[in-house]
Structure 1
Amino acid sequence: MPDVPEVLFVCVHNAGRSQMAAALLDHRAAGRVRVCSAGSAPAASINPAVREVMAEIGLDLSREFPKPLTGEAVRAADVVITMGCGDVCPVFPGKRYEDWALPDPAGLPAAEVRPIRDAIDARVRALLAELLPA
């Protein structure tokens, strides 16, 4: 791993899971990891329930927006974490890939998005411990 590892989170719409994961890792890493997120078919905006449950824990997604997945983003990343985009995600040799099978928060109320956020946070903490051992 380089001095500052780069992690790319990818889901289909980049409106829920990947946005939560990127915000959580960025917050927890405090500048020690470069974080990006993207979608294979980006939505027009971030899921309102996702914005709400992230604001509850002090993370503001109001300036974030869904971004398209590019080959350049994948090439730049050291770790690519997919969340349900299946075969659409490009694969480059020498990259570390993980697939986090998590429910899609699309259309769910905040009460049902909170457990998804918390599951992502637990995985982000574990990933951070691997990337930046104490």
Structure 2
Amino acid sequence: MSTDKPSVLFVCVHNAGRSQMAAGWLRHLAGDTVEVRSAGSAPADQINPVAVAAMAEVGIDITDQKPKILTPEASEASNVVITMGCGDVCPYFPGQTHLDWELDDPAGQGIQAVRPIRDEIRKRVEALMTELLPSA
């Protein structure tokens, strides 16, 4: 059996909302079976507090995460790179899967608007897991 676990990089411009929620879901649902990264091309100073609150409502704590700059190294080290409908251009490396998830931006939105984004991200992360971990 291969010990290489799949790695996923979630990318959005500020790495403060969608990509952080997606990374939080994948860490929560996949545990240590998947290596999870997130980054942004222009990282914010902090994670969107409404995204933190929306994730806390479902028992996922992302308060320890910080927005990070997207590096070619992080991209190259990932099997799957998922951009969050924000027009980010990622470095492309052979053998990678690139996906673009069109999602509303939670920036500036209230909790009522962020909950459906959070729930849509969960559905997409669950579908991604069935592809990455077919035996799970």
So what's the TM-score if we normalise by structure 1? 0.95
Aligned length: 134
Q: How far apart in 1 are the matches of 2:65 and 2:36? A: 13
Q: Displacement of 1:61 after TM fit?
A: 1.4
Once the 2 structures are TM-superposed, how far is the Cα of residue 87 of structure 1 from its aligned partner? 4.7
Q: Which runs of 5+ in 2 are unaligned?
A: none
What amino acid sits opposite 1:25 in the alignment?
L
For the residues of structure 2 that align with 1:6 and 1:77, how far apart are their CA atoms? 5
Q: State how far apart, in whole Å, the 1-side matches of 2:34 and 2:71 are.
A: 20
Superposition TM-score, scaled by structure 2 size: 0.94
Runs of 4+ in 1 over 3 A off after TM superposition: none
Mapping of residues 1-134 of structure 1, within 5 Å = 3-134=4-135
1:62-103, CA deviations, whole angstroms, 9 ceiling, x for partnerless residues? 111100000000000000000134253222222110000000
Could you tell me whether the CA contact under 8 Å between 2:83 and 2:101 is conserved in 1? yes
SS of the residue corresponding to residue 9 of structure 1 reads: strand
- Partner Cα separation in structure 1 for residue 91 and residue 83 of structure 2: 10
Q: Percent identity?
A: 61
| Structure 1: 5+ residue stretches without partners | none
